[in-house]
Amino acid sequence: MTDKFTTTQTNRLVELNAEPEVFSQEFDAPEVRNQFFKETENRLVKKNRDKLRTLLKQQHKPLSIRIEEQIKTWLTEKEGFTQVVTPTIISAEMLDKMTITKEHPLTNQVFWLDTKRCLRPMLAPNLYVVMRDLYKATREPVRIFEAGSCYRKESQGAQHMNEFTMLNLVEFAGIEEGTQMERLKQLAKAAMEAIGMETYELVIEKSEVYGETLDIVADGLELASGAYGPHFLDGRWGVFEPWVGIGFGIERITMKMGGYQTIKRVGKSIAFLDGSPLNL
């Protein structure tokens, strides 16, 4: 007879971010298991406590914030992008223009505030307007980005949250037609270099409606999605120049870089800070 951890023990070990090998342990008797659990729990409590102490005394910024800042610094200092900040509450009309109508996969994921307004599930609608109007105003190539919360009703799971942080860059005009995918790849690689992410793949997909898209993927987990135009939606926004855009999921990247199995430990939370649980 061999014993494995009880469900309660397993949950506690997950919460404390135990190493994967801990979970596969088997024991000859419950007493041996309980003893091992107690020792492991104590060790992990200490590890998490030390990590929180280091955060408070030295680091001061969680990994997710540092990653977001690294991308922003790279964009503003190396690539000439400008940061914009737009509302998290958007109109039904803006959403309609993204063709988020009944058939769209995102339809059932939108948090409605009333019949006319919702929490943005993506940054693209606001960025379409800002890039178009900035171009009209200046007639200069537009390179802008926004970093902020997006909201989607998700069935939770280890890789999705209802509220997450997207950093979306767009580059508009000044891109030669036919070179968009090259530019997307260049930006994707430079972004990964800026944060020190070495193991990732660029996955290109082709769709009749959406054209070519580029995903940044690490161990099967999507970290970011890129697209480019001319795109079938552009006309509705009064956009007629080539553009490229990439949306990075900040918590997805943090999860991978921090070696965490679940996203909620690095997301906006009152139960976790910088990957560590607060109930130690």
Contact window for ligand ATP (CB under 6 A) among 8-16, 38-46, 48-56, 157-165: 157-165
Q: Is 132 in the site for ligand ATP (CB under 6 A)?
A: no
Tokens of 77: 């200092």
Single residue of 120, 132, 143, 252 touching ligand ATP by CB under 6 A = 252
- Which is closer to Mg ion, CB of 52 or CB of 150? 150
* Cα(227)–Cα(162) distance, integer angstroms: 23
Do residues 152 and 162 make contact, with C-beta atoms less than 8 angstroms apart? yes
Among 11, 54, 222, 280, binds ligand ATP (CB under 6 A): 222
- 133 vs 154, beta carbon nearer ligand ATP: 154
State yes or no: residue 228 binds ligand ATP (CB under 6 A): no
Query: Long-range pairs for 55-60 at CB < 8 Å and ≥24 separation?
Result: 55/273, 55/274, 55/276, 59/274
Alpha carbon distances (Å) from 127 to 57, 111, 183, 228: 38, 20, 19, 13
Residue 225 makes contact with ligand ATP by CB under 6 A:
yes
Q: Does 251 bind ligand ATP (CB under 6 A)?
A: yes
The entry of Mg ion, ligand ATP, none that residue 164 binds, CB within 5 to 8 Å by partner kind: ligand ATP
Site string for Mg ion, 212-231 (x = CB under 5 A): -------------x------
Burial of 101 (0-12, 13-18, 19+ CB in 10 A): exposed
With CB under 6 A as the contact rule, the residue among 164, 172, 260, 272 that binds ligand ATP is 164
| Smallest separation, CB 95 to ligand ATP (Å) | 14
Indicate the burial class of 270 (C-beta count within 10 angstroms; 0-12, 13-18, 19 or more).
exposed
Single out the residue of 77, 280, 106, 51 nearest to residue 190, CA to CA.
77
Q: Where are the alpha helices (DSSP H) in the chain?
A: 7-15, 20-23, 30-54, 63-73, 92-97, 124-138, 180-195, 250-258
State the CB neighbour count (10 A cutoff) for residue 156.
12
Does position 168 interact with Mg ion (CB under 5 A)? The reply is: no
- Interface pattern 65-104 for ligand ATP (x via CB under 6 A): ----------------------------------------
Residues at the site binding ligand ATP, with contacts judged by CB under 6 A: 122, 152, 154, 160-161, 164, 166, 222-225, 247, 249, 251-252, 263
